[in-house]
Chain A
């Protein structure tokens, strides 16, 4: 148990920092826009129950409502039709050890800055591995695009032909799942797929391939620029919702100080 004692000591003395990768749950935070005749993701909403007033003199509390995929959120395999028949595919059934683990961060911010439809390719992953080493098995991989710094309409970046935001190519997802056996994939955008992901093959490849293989997704992450490419630990337990397809959650990373961020 020395490892945990050492970890606690390191957290206490600040040599290991805790980084918050979560957006605030805010009614104004964008959600995925689907064709209007489809069911829609609920916005985050809050109603005050009492605030030291006639509704409850001693207390301040509120009711909130949202979808399972509102704000910074976790996608379980059952979220996508490709994962519908897998065992342990809902958030309440996923073994808890999956919510803590090593994380690799691939920086695509420069590419995304010049190409809003940038697709992370197998080629780019292999180049990244040349510098940072091969992605180990059963790890989380996050795609940094700095998209979380965008505000308002720039975030979804909707145009008449749909959203425009970066994401992984189908081959890249397949490579990460099949060749690197990752545990999950996360992005700063509103989905794990690119804004134009509907027009890839298969459509929404990240969703289709990841969840079809029983892997997890994380979306609407923030502060990825505060993580090192390798060596951090991700903590991402979703709410234990019965038969849940996902959940808003607080995503944290443990980072060794002086590790080489960005």
Chain B
């Protein structure tokens, strides 16, 4: 069992906040495919298409047959720790600040040896279960976990560096009016978040379910309207230094594309929330979070964008909203670039149609608030950077990965005769 982390003490205002440092960030271009898989929580290695050999570290050609076809393939995660060390002296500042650091050599059941981080619960010579995650530099790394789940396993110091666990952390849910707000707050409270700020725009309109939100002891309602620069600035001024995880669940969704509308006003409203609102949040909350990426056990760790999966490829029935979501996705990519170096993960959660009034005519399956909250929480606890929520989102993103041009044709075709 892992020793549980304690609730961090109040911050000493006389001590300088630790500046985020990073583990090594450089990788070969080939190795970035490992990072891509790790960002989704997949443990993928190169497997030769010709001879089946599994190659690691990442290569340009198979070391057995010189085939150039080495597709990244999910491989079994079992293995055995065959050598280990605990680094006490590191030449890298990030690790130097975090020693002792346990790492080791694992012989994978897949037949290749890898060097990896090692969870404190792994026994000497023990069987392990490998995970791939992105580290504070945003690059994929491997960690060996005990084969079976142990108590407080997530509290392992090294594992917590790879995850965004809400335990003892303070979270901001930006839209208390969104149908997901209550479920998100309930799930985060259950996962040990210490404060759950819930943003509420336009207090002159009574929100639904406010009483249920307020009944959660960790919840604090804060005024926040992401279409209003002043409001966002003031909210960040009040609580920005305490937000360890920001979940932007604001969305503005309306059916319709281009010619079915007679003006751009609805599109402006969509952009005002989905794009400019996101940018306001990033401008107001980003700098403080970027500065707090190494701020102790409740450091800033994650920024979650809940995006429509149609940000990837336009769904003409919701064409203009899709376009604003695509703008948001592009902005999130820019934000990832600007947050690189902070250790704060920028998470994109691609969501299928919610079971709400705007998407009422769409056929099932749809995403319930509970599923959205459960998946977002799991994503944070596992430290993932890209997830899909719901079957539709999974399906669309899978097709998009396979071939975005084919997906575009699928989504824009008319019913055949």
Contacts and interface: CB of A to CB of B under 8 A. Distances in A.
Interface of A: 27-28, 30, 33, 36, 39-40, 42-43, 45-48, 151-153, 155-156, 158
A158 B204 CA distance: 9
Contacts of A36: 357
Given A27-B225, A45-B229, A39 B203 contact: no
B206 interface: yes
B342 interface: no
Given A39-B265, A39-B266, A152 B203 contact: yes
Given A39-B266, A40-B269, A27 B204 contact: no
A158 B357 CA distance: 19
Given A39-B266, A40-B269, A45 B204 contact: no
B415 interface: no
B230 interface: yes
B308 interface: no
A153 B205 contact: yes
A152 B200 CA distance: 13
A48 B206 contact: no
Give the 9 A-B CB pairs with smallest separation, nearest first: A30-B204, A27-B228, A153-B206, A152-B204, A152-B203, A153-B204, A155-B204, A47-B229, A39-B265
B204 A43 contact: no
A156 B229 contact: no
Contacts of B163: none
B205 A28 contact: no
Given A39-B266, A45-B228, A153-B203, 5 more contacts: A27-B231, A48-B229, A152-B203, A153-B206, A155-B204
Contacts of B231: 27-28
Interface in B227-242: 227-231
B205 A27 contact: no
B202 interface: yes
B233 to A, nearest CB: 10
Contacts of B228: 27-28, 43, 45
Nearest to B204: A30
14 contacts: A27-B230, A28-B202, A28-B225, A30-B204, A33-B205, A43-B228, A45-B227, A45-B229, A152-B203, A153-B203, A153-B204, A153-B206, A156-B205, A158-B205
A47 to B, nearest CB: 6
A100 to B, nearest CB: 32
Nearest to A159: B206
A149 to B, nearest CB: 14
B226 to A, nearest CB: 11
A70 to B, nearest CB: 13
A43 B227 contact: yes
Contacts of A43: 227-228
Main secondary structure of the interface of A (DSSP, over half): loop
Contacts of A46: 229-230
Interface in B150-190: none
Nearest to A156: B204
Interface string B196-211: 0000001111100000
A157 B227 CA distance: 23
Nearest to B233: A48
A42 B272 CA distance: 11
A162 to B, nearest CB: 13
A47 B279 CA distance: 13
Q: Which of A27, A42, A156 has the most chain B CB atoms inside 10 A of its CB?
A: A27
B263 to A, nearest CB: 8
Contacts of B206: 153, 158
Contacts of B225: 27-28
A190 to B, nearest CB: 10
A27 B203 CA distance: 12
A30 B225 CA distance: 13
Contacts of B266: 39
A171 B269 CA distance: 38
A47 B204 CA distance: 22
A23 B176 CA distance: 27
Nearest to B207: A153
B32 to A, nearest CB: 36
A156 B227 CA distance: 20
Nearest to A37: B254
B18 to A, nearest CB: 30
Nearest to B231: A27
A152 B263 CA distance: 31
Interface string B346-364: 0000000000010000000
B204 A28 contact: yes
Nearest to A154: B204
Contacts of A48: 229
A237 to B, nearest CB: 27
A153 B263 CA distance: 30
A152 to B, nearest CB: 5
A48 B232 CA distance: 13
Contacts of A40: 269
Contacts of B205: 30, 33, 153, 156, 158
Contacts of B229: 45-48
Nearest to A30: B204
Interface in B268-283: 269
A48 B263 CA distance: 26
A165 to B, nearest CB: 12
